[in-house]
């Protein structure tokens, strides 16, 4: 018997959600203009939770919150927002408030906020920063999009090879610009090339007179500044990295990437793949009706084209369908089962490509596996739908046709679901981008053609 009480179970089921009572308290504060109540409420919340509140309320309420919050707006909240919404909010805020909010952030967070803005708005935000911060952000923006140079933060902790633990600790304590959070101290030679790193736990647990090279980890990985962010995130996940120094073309230290930034890239990539597989595009719940309509239209248009192609196949067998009306009833079964089987394989394949589990070395083995899986599932469901066809319409041969079409389409679905993403990946096209439309088209066309073709050959 469970020891979890009903009220405890409700907390478990809705853990970390923003409760309606908090939303109501925010609305009450802006309704009465109680700025102190709003600030007091926000002081007890994490920036990510405040960002969730801003995303959940309506646009007019959002602006009322920002107006009432005023000079106390937290830059970390802006960094937690969806990029479209953060750009909209910063455009509406006065320059002095934007500048003050940005000063609280590390350079990587500022870059993430401004990199997708149009040039006038980007310049406006940059002008609100201190000179040193502005230069650091501009230097990061000079690197190509989706690279480590855009992801890294300039604020880092480093030490020369000749320092001892005591010297390092004393220097860090005196440094007014030390990052709020850091995990490793990067050890550099006179050329500013990283030669190792000292984990923070090693630094604080070693005697003061210990030379840093004696406790530094020489088996560390550096990230080239032009490496793709996706590869950076993979490296962090693959090798359980907490932080990694970033170097330029001359192998000089220029920044550092931390685990939270890498995991954010993984999350964004997974989110992007899910949306692309569903044909949704880069949209968020805060997008306008017209914006959402515009983003979804191209994918629906592609789907319309695939439907027309499938309909053209069906039209070639109009005489057969007129002679055997039962075919019209059973056609969706073959196409739908093939489409679902293809989507299953497609989803696993796209994910395996993203995590680099599917490579040239094992591609043919995995392709064979998916074909065999499709065949076995096809046999199983062929028996089931064959019986359904016989019982439903009383025609044994109709059941045979349905069963054979099911086997063929399930095998084709498995083959298409894995081969199409692989081919797109080899061509340099995101396999999540167009795979779904291609797989659905293949399974629909093959399913209809085989089913109706067999019916024409065996039943007429």
Q: What is the rounded CA–CA span in Å between residue 308 and residue 169?
A: 70
Helices (H), 104-142: 107-114, 119-127, 131-141
Would you give the distance in Å from CA 134 to the centre of its chain? 28
- The model's pTM is 0.71
Percent of the chain with pLDDT over 90: 30
- CATH 1.25.60.10 corresponds to the domain 6-151: yes
Burial code of 167-197, b = ≥16 C-beta within 10 A, e = fewer?
A: bbbeeeeeeeeeeeebbbbbbbeeebebbbb
What are the tokens at 181? 């959070």
**pLDDT band per the 50, 70, 90 thresholds, residue 130:** confident
CB-CB contact of 349 with 369 (8 Å): no
Distance of CA 357 to the CA centre of its chain: 18
Three-class DSSP category at 160: strand
Q: What is the pLDDT of residues 188-246, one digit of tens each?
A: 999 999 999 999 999 999 999 999 999 998 778 999 999 999 999 989 988 889 999 99
3-state secondary structure of 47: helix
Which pLDDT tens digit goes with each residue over 262-307?
A: 988 888 887 777 777 666 666 776 677 787 788 778 778 888 888 8
* CATH of span 158-277: 3.10.580.10
Q: Do the beta carbons of residue 239 and residue 272 sit within 8 Å?
A: no
Which residues are CB-contacts of 185 (< 8 A; sequence separation ≥ 6)? 157, 158, 159, 168, 197, 198, 200, 203, 212
CB neighbour list of residue 457: distance below 8 Å, 6 or more residues apart: none
Q: What is the mean pLDDT of residues 391-395?
A: 84
User: Does 158-277 match 6-151 at the fold level?
Assistant: no
Instruction: Tell me what pLDDT residue 356 has.
Output: 82
Q: φ, ψ for residue 194 (rounded to 5)?
A: -70, 130
Residue matched to tokens 């067998």: 317
The rounded distance, in Å, linking the Cα atoms of 243 and 424 is 32
Question: What whole-number distance in Å separates Cα of residue 444 and Cα of residue 438?
Answer: 10
Give the pLDDT score at 148. Answer: 94
Mean pLDDT value across residues 112-124: 84
pLDDT at 3: 52
* Per-residue pLDDT tens over the stretch 310-342: 889 888 888 888 888 888 888 888 888 988 898
Report the topology of domain 289-459. Tetracycline Repressor; domain 2 (1.10.357)
Dihedral of CA 219/225/228/232: which sign?
positive
Buried residues in 11-24 as b, exposed as e (16+ CB within 10 A): eeeeeeebeeebee
Cβ atoms of residues 63 and 96 within 8 Å: no
Segment (H or E) for 186:
strand 184-188
Question: Domain residues of the chain, as ranges?
Answer: 6-151, 158-277, 289-459
- How far apart are the C-alpha atoms of 221 and 236, rounded to whole Å? 10
Residue 433 CB coordination number (10 Å): 17
Q: Give the model's confidence band at 15: pLDDT under 50 very low, under 70 low, under 90 confident, else very high.
A: low
Question: Which letter, b or e, does each residue of 362-378 get, where b requires 16 or more Cβ atoms within 10 Å of its Cβ?
Answer: ebeebbeebbebbeebb
Do the Cβ atoms of 446 and 331 come closer than 8 Å?
no
Average pLDDT over all residues of the chain: 86
Arithmetic mean of pLDDT, 408-413: 92
| Two tokens, residue 290 | 């017209």
What confidence category does residue 13 fall into, taking pLDDT thresholds of 50, 70 and 90?
Answer: very low
Inter-CA distances, 182 with 134, 196, 239, 284, 454, Å: 22, 15, 19, 32, 67
pLDDT above 60 for 5 = no
In percent, the amount of the chain with pLDDT more than 70 equals 94
């Amino acid at each position: 018997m469970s020891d979890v009480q009903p009220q405890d179970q409700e907390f478990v089921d809705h853990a970390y959600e923003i409760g309606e009572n908090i939303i109501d308290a925010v609305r009450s504060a802006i309704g009465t203009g109680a700025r102190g109540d709003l600030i007091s409420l926000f002081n007890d919340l994490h920036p990510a939770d405040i960002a969730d509140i801003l995303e959940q309320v309506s646009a007019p309420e959002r602006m009322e919150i920002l107006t009432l919050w005023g000079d106390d707006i937290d830059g970390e909240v802006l960094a937690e927002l969806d990029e479209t919404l953060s750009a909209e909010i910063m455009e509406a805020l006065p320059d002095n408030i934007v500048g003050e909010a940005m000063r609280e952030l590390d350079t990587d967070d500022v870059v993430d906020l401004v990199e997708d803005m149009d040039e006038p708005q980007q310049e406006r935000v940059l002008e609100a920063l201190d000179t040193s911060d502005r230069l650091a952000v501009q230097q990061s923006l000079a690197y190509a999009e989706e690279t480590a140079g855009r992801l890294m933060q300039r604020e880092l902790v480093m030490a020369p090879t000749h320092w001892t633990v005591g010297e390092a600790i004393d220097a860090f304590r005196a440094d007014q610009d030390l990052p709020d959070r850091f995990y490793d101290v990067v050890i550099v030679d006179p050329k500013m090339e990283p030669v190792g790193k000292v984990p923070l736990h090693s630094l604080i647990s070693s005697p003061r007179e210990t030379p840093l090279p004696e406790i530094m980890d020489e088996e560390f990985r550096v990230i080239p500044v032009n490496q793709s962010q996706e590869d950076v995130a993979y490296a962090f996940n693959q090798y359980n990295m907490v932080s990694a120094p970033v170097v330029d073309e001359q192998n000089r230290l220029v920044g550092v990437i931390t685990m939270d930034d890498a995991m954010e890239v993984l999350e964004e990539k997974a989110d992007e793949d899910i949306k692309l597989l569903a044909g949704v595009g880069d949209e968020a719940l805060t997008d306008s009706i017209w914006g959402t309509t515009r983003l979804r239209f191209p994918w629906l248009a592609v789907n319309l084209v695939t439907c027309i192609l499938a309909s053209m196949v069906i039209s070639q067998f109009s005489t057969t369908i007129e002679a055997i009306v039962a075919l019209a009833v059973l056609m969706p079964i073959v196409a739908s089962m093939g489409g679902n089987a293809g989507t299953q394989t497609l989803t696993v394949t796209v994910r395996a490509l993203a995590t680099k589990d599917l490579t040239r070395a094992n591609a043919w083995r995995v392709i064979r596996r998916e074909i065999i899986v499709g065949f076995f599932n096809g046999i199983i469901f062929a028996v089931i739908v064959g019986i359904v066809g016989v019982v439903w319409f009383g025609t044994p041969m109709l059941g045979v046709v349905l069963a054979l079409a099911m086997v063929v389409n399930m095998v084709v679905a498995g083959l298409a679901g894995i081969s199409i993403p692989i081919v797109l990946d080899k061509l340099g096209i995101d396999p999540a981008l167009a795979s779904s439309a291609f797989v659905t088209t293949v399974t629909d066309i093959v399913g209809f053609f085989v089913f109706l073709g067999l019916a024409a050959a065996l039943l007429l």
